[in-house]
Amino acid sequence: MVVWRKFALTALGIACPEVILEMAAGQWVRARQCVRDFNSEDFEQSQTHMQEHRHVKATGEIRTKEVWTMEMAFFADMGGFRLRTRNCEPFPIDARQLLYLVRKGYVQQPVFKPRMIEDKNKVDVLLRAIILCQTSWFLVTVIGRWAQHLVVTTAELTTVSFIFCSTVTEIFWWHKPADVVMAEIIEIDVEISEILTSAGQDPNAWRMTPLDFASREEWWWSKTWWNFLNILRKMHCSFGSEGRPIDRIADSCQRVLPRREQYLLLAITTGCFAIFSVAWHDDFPTETERMVWRGCCITMVSLLGIGLVISEVLQAYNLFQKGIQQASPRLPTSQSDTLTYGNWPNSKLKGIRKFIRRLDKSFDSIRNNSPDNDPQLYVPLRVILPLYVIGAIYWCCRTFILIEDAIGLRSLPTSAYASVSWEKFWPHLG
């Protein structure tokens, strides 16, 4: 299962590295906010609440406040802690859920030891250094070829685009441990139903874990992403945990991105796509391949602008609709039908309404295709259909670029086989 999960993320990184970049940015924003929340929390007051709970022994000891770091927040958001209650098997909790439990006095703030994270971070510093040296030397070589007017192949340009996107992703994930194999168990002597009831939640109305209410946030992109994953799940290509509660926090979680970070990612993604336009005037095996390459470059950049416009229009439309619903009372059905259909005969009106209801019901499986029909994963057709069209066009452009990288090697100019003459930059080396 672990191998399949890693393979799926690798394939996603090749087919659509911008999605991995968005994941990393969202997780970084979430971790940064959790660091601020933990460091601003009054844990002495929380420990006072702990002693008021009947399941906590009053020891009189006040734990000193520990400064949270990004490593701690990433570790917690990856499922580094698992909660075990009196009547529930251990399940992973994220940083916000842990903070909720601390605030309510159910647990104490965990004491982090350096080895707690270091033992679980399998990314060797030496390995990162080797990768950095290799990518840096490749970029220097490509720049050298360009400076000496040597041919830079489309495969090399695609690699540069991958490096650019992966570098930004690595910056967002710089403090993130590689994986969580053995989580830290937090055990409390209280039933999970008591926690949910005291929070005003239905003990049976949860989707992934009983503490969903403390941290779950869905936005238009995460809903669309879940919709896409549910389609893959029906094709028996599952990426997440099937059990309830889940046994791990998925690597592909789409966290909420503030507007400023959305524009930042838009600029970074535009830069990634713009790299392909460097081959605008290059020699291709055929003129058709050159024109299709140019078309893909223009289309991919245009899709970003179209997606931004759709996002802004939908957000403004939703705010407008919400304001109309709050300001205008709901009309009775008879008056609403009169405004919509005029003075049509009742028999014809009933037939039209019945047809519309059937048609609308047939689209329910598209709007919400989650196995448990989760109401938070409802996506309007005006959102999901344009995004799927954009995604399909993007996938076609990305697929052509990857195919052209391979088939374009069949006919290369002579200078493509020449090496960079470094002595031209530093004559004294010759």
Distance of CA 217 to the CA centre of its chain: 12
User: What is the rounded CA–CA span in Å between residue 257 and residue 26?
Assistant: 6
Residue 83: which H helix or E strand, with range? strand 81-85
* Range in 14-23, 120-129, 355-364 the model is least confident about: 120-129
Write down the pLDDT at residue 288. 95
∠ CA 115-171-72, rounded to 5°? 30
pLDDT category of residue 165 using cuts at 50, 70 and 90: very high
| Percentage with pLDDT > 70 across the chain | 77
User: What is the rounded CA–CA span in Å between residue 199 and residue 367?
Assistant: 30
Higher-confidence position of 310 and 25 = 25
Average pLDDT score over residue span 326-335:
46
Average pLDDT score over residue span 370-378:
84
Do the beta carbons of residue 71 and residue 95 sit within 8 Å? no
**pLDDT of 62 above 50:** no
DSSP string for 131-163: HHHHHHHHHHHHHHHHHTT----HHHHHHHHHH
Write down the pLDDT at residue 290. 94
| pLDDT tens per residue across span 117-142 | 655 555 566 777 888 888 999 999 99
Instruction: Give the residue ranges of DSSP H helices in 190-285.
Output: 192-198, 220-234, 259-276
User: What is the rounded CA–CA span in Å between residue 63 and residue 338?
Assistant: 67
| pLDDT tens per residue across span 218-270 | 888 888 888 888 888 887 776 666 677 888 888 778 888 888 888 899 999 99
Q: Which residues contact 254 (CB under 8 A, 6 or more apart)?
A: 22, 23, 26, 219, 221, 222, 225
Q: Which residues contact 414 (CB under 8 A, 6 or more apart)?
A: none
Higher-confidence position of 167 and 183 = 167
Where do we find the tokens 């004491």?
111
Mean pLDDT of the chain: 80
b or e along 36-49 (b: 16 or more beta carbons within 10 Å of the residue's beta carbon)?
eebeebebeebbee
Write down the pLDDT at residue 14. 86
Write down the pLDDT at residue 334. 45
Higher-confidence position of 242 and 34 = 34
**pLDDT of 332 above 90:** no
| Percentage with pLDDT > 90 across the chain | 27
User: Residue 15's CB: how many other CB atoms inside 10 A?
Assistant: 13
Question: Comparing C-alpha atoms, which of 34, 41, 196 is closest to residue 103?
Answer: 41
* Range in 247-256, 316-325, 386-395 the model is least confident about: 316-325
Look up the pTM and report it.
Answer: 0.82
Do the beta carbons of residue 196 and residue 85 sit within 8 Å? no
Write down the pLDDT at residue 31. 94
Beta pairing partners, 126 = none
pLDDT category of residue 293 using cuts at 50, 70 and 90: very high
Question: Comparing C-alpha atoms, which of 269, 270, 274, 271 is closest to residue 294?
Answer: 274
Do the beta carbons of residue 231 and residue 388 sit within 8 Å? no
DSSP string for 85-131: ETTEEEEEE-HHHHHHHHHTTSSPPPPP-HHHHHTT----HHHHHHH
pLDDT category of residue 336 using cuts at 50, 70 and 90: very low
**pLDDT of 116 above 50:** yes
Write down the pLDDT at residue 346. 56
Sign of CA dihedral 61, 62, 67, 69: positive
| pLDDT tens per residue across span 259-274 | 888 889 999 999 999 9
